[in-house]
Amino acid sequence: MKAHTASLLNAIILIALSAWGYLSSDTPSPTALIPTVIGVLLLLCYSGVKNENKIIAHVAVVLTLLILVGLIKPLTGAMGRDDMMAVARISVMLLSTAVALVLFIKSFIDAKKNRASE
């Protein structure tokens, strides 16, 4: 899978699952929509990442890393509340974000190798 595809899939997962969590909560918090905002920003970066624009790709990586770190606290909170549905949603968001980040890093390494060989 290419980095731009993983980023697109990650953005869709972030938007869908965080919106689901927000809308299904008895006491919704606006902070639950942070992954939705990051997902929308990643969607906006998609064409630049696909066209290998270095600046936009780096912005997308920073957003991906931020949401990866930012999802840890909600996961621990959901575990503390024994809210298995929230744990599942956040775990899926974490997994898709981690995969996207790994593929971004791999694509950066591959691009550097290609430049070095030319």
This prediction's pTM: 0.90
**What single letter denotes the amino acid at residue 1?**
M
If you average pLDDT over every residue of the chain, what do you get?
93
* Whether the predicted pLDDT of 118 surpasses 80: no
d(CA 81, CA 22): 16
d(CA 59, CA 79): 31
Q: What is the pLDDT of residues 21-68, one digit of tens each?
A: 999 888 888 999 999 999 999 999 999 999 989 899 999 999 999 999
d(CA 84, CA 21): 12
Per-residue model confidence (pLDDT) at position 113: 86
d(CA 90, CA 27): 17
Q: Are 45 and 14 in contact (CB under 8 A)?
A: no
Per-residue model confidence (pLDDT) at position 34: 94
pLDDT tier for residue 84 given thresholds of 50, 70 and 90: very high
* Segment (H or E) for 32: none
Per-residue model confidence (pLDDT) at position 103: 94
Residue 13 in tokens:
């997962």
Residue 73 in tokens:
């606290």
